[in-house]
Amino acid sequence: MADQISLTFPDGSVRDYPAGTTAAQVAASIAPSLAKNAISATLDGQHIDLAWPLTENGTIAINTMKDAAPALELIRHDLAHVMARAVQELWPDVKVTIGPVRDFGWFYDFDREEPFTPDDLGAIETRMKQIIAARDPVRTEVWDRARARAHYEAANEPFKVELLDRIPEGQPIRMYWHGDWQDLCRGPHLQSTGQLPADAFKLTHVAGAYWLGDNTRPMLQRIYGVAFRNRDELKAHMHMLEEAAKRDHRKLGREMDLFHMQEEAPGQIFWHPNGWAIYTTLQDYMRRRQRAGGYVEVNTPQVVSRKLWEESGHWENYQENMFIVEVDEDHAKTKTINALKPMNCPCHVQIFNHGLKSYRDLPLRMAEFGSCARYEPSGALHGIMRVRGFTQDDAHIFCTEDQIEAETRKFIEFLAAIYADLGFEGWRIKLSTRPEKRIGSDESWDRSEAALGNACRAAGHDYELFPGEGAFYGPKLEFVLRDAIGRDWQCGTLQVDPNLPERLDAEYVGADGAKHRPIMLHRAVLGSFERFIGIMIENSTGKLPFWLAPRQVVVASIVSDADDYVHEVAAALQAAGIRAEADIRNEKINYKVREHSVAKVPVIMAVGMKEVADRSVSIRRLDRQGSQSQPLDAALAALAAEATPPDLRG
């Protein structure tokens, strides 16, 4: 180790320090105010603790609470430790496990015989605030493995012993103390409990969780919390959660009679007529869009031999997520092993490989509404958002390396038009670049990454760079929607892949007469129909665009003498291509309006004897006050135009 190290700062300046200097000492050398406000540092892109000694040259930035990403990571991570300390101070017999940071907060798993109650959560919160008010120092040490094992065995913490055994040889075993309470953790952490905002966190709920996600291991109790930098951010988040509860697609799905799920088919969806109307209308729209975009549609088997999955690499790397199907073939000595396809790409390569392809055939855009099955742990399933059976709007573009940029630009423009039609204007692009472990030359990566970045700019969109987040075989773009209450959903994707064509021996004949490997661009706009429909339902609170609404119009009688006209109006609407139904029940019109409004029917036509005499309808729009009387023919024409999908409008 050198005696001196050189550190480069964000402004480009360089300073030399003795090796072993901590980031806290670096902050103090710059300004007392920075030393006071510092919470951590970022060294060569790695988030580090202020107390860690620096031994190598690098680029460094000192973080304060104004730096949102590192600040939130520290706040949530420290609060996980403070919560675990509070639990063990209140119930000393409880065993602790792990407490990672997650979206908006953290969780920590505990081994306790008695279930935690809402009153317990209140007591834990109170104790946490007392720990924060005590402003106990946070310190860290690196121990050798034997010392750490002896410590946890003496403390009767078996889960920590197991975690210790999982730390690879050569990695530091870092011990953290928050006051007198200690945990095994890779860090970083704040410098004292007093740096935590006592009014910006809340414990939300308790759930069961198997140790390390393994259903053969003990069931633990997982306490969830959320945390932010200040009270206003927490208040905004809690308001968002209230809005999210109102928009929950599972609740709206029941009210709109869209689907249900049951134990006999975990992670699978039973689509009701109303839900299937949304599904097929969206699928028909995507089919037309893809046809207009130059895609050919294919369909591939759902049960595919193990042999293909081995050749593609999925058997080795993805088998735990696959449903295996064993078949007793006639006269076979051993069972044939197949798998339900978890993705479509290897099958699409088989179609590409069927028959000789020329450079003149490229780019070849191959699309499939591919039904896939992936094993998801039961605890991860969530309505139609996280399922085991789903259909992707999947497509693969086989092209040359020189065509990547043009095809990517076309795809971004294609995706942008679809998102606009579906009511999502606010979305952004992430560009994930080469990871440390990868295949292919640096020159090839340079060209692929440049092609994706150039395509984004040419299509008129900026992008966020995520260094090192690409797949081992190529960079990718991710398209992230933002919904009406500010939540982000990653839906669309485009992945550059030279690897699968190589593994599955895909070739085309180039202009030089020689055989070449195509590049494969994996792309999706919606992702899965199931998840995207769930997103649309929550984004719109079930008030879908008229052309997508499963029940577009209900014609409701005010008096029974109008029943014949109600049926005539409903039939005329249906003939005009509108999903309409008649409601001639012996109920008051206000009752009917309320019921159909809860079901999110966008248009309710109230029909009484005045409407019969005038051959008109009284139109009530969802969430609008009052009604509007209109001649039947005019109403038919206006609603037929509104029911036309956006890609078919003039």
> Which CATH number describes the domain made up of 69-245?
3.30.980.10
pLDDT at 212 over 90: no
The annotation status of 396 as a binding-site residue, yes or no, is yes
Interval 381-412: pLDDT, tens? 899 999 999 999 999 999 999 999 999 999 99
Interval 334-350: pLDDT, tens? 788 999 999 999 999 99
Q: Is 374 a catalytic residue?
A: yes
Q: Is 394 a catalytic residue?
A: yes
Give 103's pLDDT tier (boundaries 50, 70, 90): confident
Q: Angle, to 10 degrees, between the axis of helix 632-643 and the axis of helix 563-575? A: 40
CATH architecture of 546-648: 3-Layer(aba) Sandwich (3.40)
| Mean pLDDT along residues 430-449 | 91
| Mean pLDDT along residues 585-611 | 96
| Cβ(627)–Cβ(620) below 8 Å | yes
From 112, 374, 447, 487, the catalytic residue: 374
Residue 208: burial class (beta carbons within 10 Å; 0-12, 13-18, 19+) = exposed
Give 561's pLDDT tier (boundaries 50, 70, 90): very high
| Cβ(41)–Cβ(62) below 8 Å | yes
Report the pLDDT value the prediction gives residue 334, as an integer from 0 to 100.
Answer: 76
Q: Is 476 a catalytic residue?
A: yes
pLDDT at 1 over 80: no
| Mean pLDDT along residues 273-289 | 97
Q: Angle, to 10 degrees, between the axis of helix 145-154 and the axis of helix 158-166? A: 160
Least trusted range by pLDDT, from 107-111, 191-195, 323-327, 547-551: 323-327
CB < 8 Å & 24+ apart, contacts of 158-165: 158/95, 159/95, 159/96, 159/97, 159/98, 159/111, 159/211, 160/96, 160/97, 160/184, 163/97, 163/98
Strands (E) in 289-352, as ranges, are: 295-297, 303-305, 324-327, 336-340
From 522, 531, 551, 596, the catalytic residue: 522
From 345, 347, 399, 456, the catalytic residue: 345
Report the pLDDT value the prediction gives residue 250, as an integer from 0 to 100.
Answer: 96
| Mean pLDDT along residues 59-69 | 94
Mean pLDDT of the residues in the chain: 94
Which CATH number is 4-64's, of 3.10.20.30, 3.90.1150.10, 3.90.10.10, 2.60.110.10? 3.10.20.30
Domain boundaries, the chain: 4-64, 69-245, 260-540, 546-648
From 182, 195, 392, 403, the catalytic residue: 392
Please report which residue ranges of 191-344 form alpha helices under DSSP H: 231-247, 249-255, 273-292, 306-312, 314-318
pLDDT at 237 over 90: yes
Report the pLDDT value the prediction gives residue 213, as an integer from 0 to 100.
Answer: 82
Work out the percent of the chain whose per-residue pLDDT is above 70: 99
Query: Which residue in 129, 84, 92 sits closest to 110, CA to CA?
Result: 84
| Mean pLDDT along residues 217-240 | 94
Q: Is 522 a catalytic residue?
A: yes
Please say whether the structural domain 260-540 has been given the CATH code 2.40.110.10: no
Report the pLDDT value the prediction gives residue 62, as an integer from 0 to 100.
Answer: 96
Residues in the chain: 650
Q: Angle, to 10 degrees, between the axis of helix 118-134 and the axis of helix 68-90? A: 110
The annotation status of 522 as a binding-site residue, yes or no, is yes
Report the pLDDT value the prediction gives residue 332, as an integer from 0 to 100.
Answer: 66
The annotation status of 205 as a binding-site residue, yes or no, is no
Cα gap 453→440, rounded to integer Å: 19
Interval 534-560: pLDDT, tens? 999 999 999 999 999 999 999 999 999
Interval 2-59: pLDDT, tens? 689 999 999 999 999 999 999 999 999 999 999 999 999 999 989 999 999 999 999 9
Report the pLDDT value the prediction gives residue 329, as an integer from 0 to 100.
Answer: 74
Q: Angle, to 10 degrees, between the axis of helix 404-421 and the axis of helix 273-292? A: 140
From 189, 476, 592, 600, the catalytic residue: 476
